[in-house]
Structure 1
């Protein structure tokens, strides 16, 4: 993706988020220079901030996702009784924009439709080898109630509705009828190691630097901070 396109997506996404009365934390608006100069080691360490991905495929409108991680714990703290064992994200899934089929080894997550159109989630159970079971029903918790769908079933969440996804749940999602503001509340988030995709794709975008970044992405931290 071109950096200019990423900058435009940041501006548009910030406006979309604000239209629902949600405001990102102050560190979201730090310039790259301010983020480099200040004492922001924990933001980098916990990989909090902007995240815009086309999964390395160069087709953001068809397959991509906007994310902003507002808070995040650390993997090394998992298992402790008193630690930050959770993460929170705000995301935007545009109309018919696919977030491709994947699962996690560790993360348990609630996916919440915070507003906009309908969020469609395609679901499969994992088989004994943790691959996709294309014949078994899949059972998930939707706002405190168990729901069972056939393999590949489409769970549709209206604004305000949510689903809890466990590591054995393969899932893909997109907006239906318009763009969707999505909340994610989960255990510690590790996008470097805990995304298992069905397709041979990357988690982050390959960036063409055609202009200066408006704000750094989490994928910029290792090279620019």
Structure 2
């Protein structure tokens, strides 16, 4: 993805988020220079726990059809999770555009609530896992939707209206997209680790390759290793 495209998506996404009354935390708007300065003094947790902007085309160069906007608002650490105490949770705000697919994947550790915060319908395609962790093409899959158990055939589609949510436990394979319009998505989960805890069905990248055609408006979490 070109940096100019990312900058444009940042602006569009911020407007969309604000249209639902959700306000981003102050560090969302820091310049790259301020973020660099602050993460070396009083805000090191932002870099350490990878808080911030995240725009991905999964390395495929086709964001409109295969992509996702995310912002990690808060996140604990793997060390806390290993100890079983401390900050064991994470929160994200995301945007899935109309018909834009986030590809089939599962998590080894993370359990997550996926919440339709507004916009169109959020559609999830669901599969269970086999014993070796691969996609189970024949077994029924069971999930909780706002406290209610729902069962689907393999590959069944769960459609969430605004206000509805689903709890996805580790091992539940899922892909999702917006139907009828762009969707604002909330995610509340156990500690989030996008570097090691995403297992994709197809060989695909989690982050985008960025072509630097202009300066970044704000850094992405995938920029931290090279910019900070």
Unaligned runs of 5+ in 1: none
CA distance in 1, matches of 2:134, 2:141: 14
The one-character-per-residue Cα deviations of 1:81-115 (angstroms, maximum 9, x if unpaired) are 53000000000000000000000000000000000
**1:218 aligned to which of 193, 218, 221:** 221
Unaligned runs of 5+ in 2: none
How far 1:79 sits from its partner (Å)? Answer: 4.5
Matched, 1:94 2:93: no
Q: Which residue of 2 aligns with 1:37?
A: 37
CA distance in 2, matches of 1:109, 1:57: 25
Please list, as runs of the form range in 1=range in 2, the aligned pairs for 1:16-35 lying within 5 A after superposition.
16-35=16-35
**2:54 aligned to which of 28, 51, 56:** 51
**1:172 aligned to which of 170, 175, 178:** 175
CA distance in 1, matches of 2:76, 2:103: 25
**2:74 aligned to which of 71, 77, 80:** 71
CA distance in 2, matches of 1:218, 1:117: 27
How far 1:80 sits from its partner (Å)? Answer: 3.5
Residues 71 and 196 of structure 1, relative CA distance in 2, 3 Å threshold: same
The one-character-per-residue Cα deviations of 1:171-211 (angstroms, maximum 9, x if unpaired) are 00000000000000000000000000011110000000000
Q: After TM superposition, which residue ranges in structure 1, 4 or more long, deviate above 6 angstroms?
A: none
How far 1:32 sits from its partner (Å)? Answer: 0.2
Q: Which residue of 2 aligns with 1:15?
A: 15
CA distance in 2, matches of 1:126, 1:167: 9
- Structure 2 SS opposite 1:77: helix
Count of residues in Structure 1 that have an aligned counterpart in Structure 2: 225
State the TM-score, normalized to the length of structure 1: 0.99
State the TM-score, normalized to the length of structure 2: 0.98
- Structure 2 SS opposite 1:193: coil
Matched, 1:155 2:181: no
CA distance in 2, matches of 1:81, 1:213: 37
The one-character-per-residue Cα deviations of 1:139-165 (angstroms, maximum 9, x if unpaired) are 000000000000000000000000000
Q: Which residue of 1 aligns with 2:2?
A: 2
The one-character-per-residue Cα deviations of 1:35-71 (angstroms, maximum 9, x if unpaired) are 1112221100000000000000000000000000000
Residues 136 and 72 of structure 1, relative CA distance in 2, 3 Å threshold: same
Q: Which residue of 2 aligns with 1:139?
A: 142
Give the root-mean-square deviation of aligned CA atoms.
Answer: 0.7
- Structure 1 SS opposite 2:105: strand
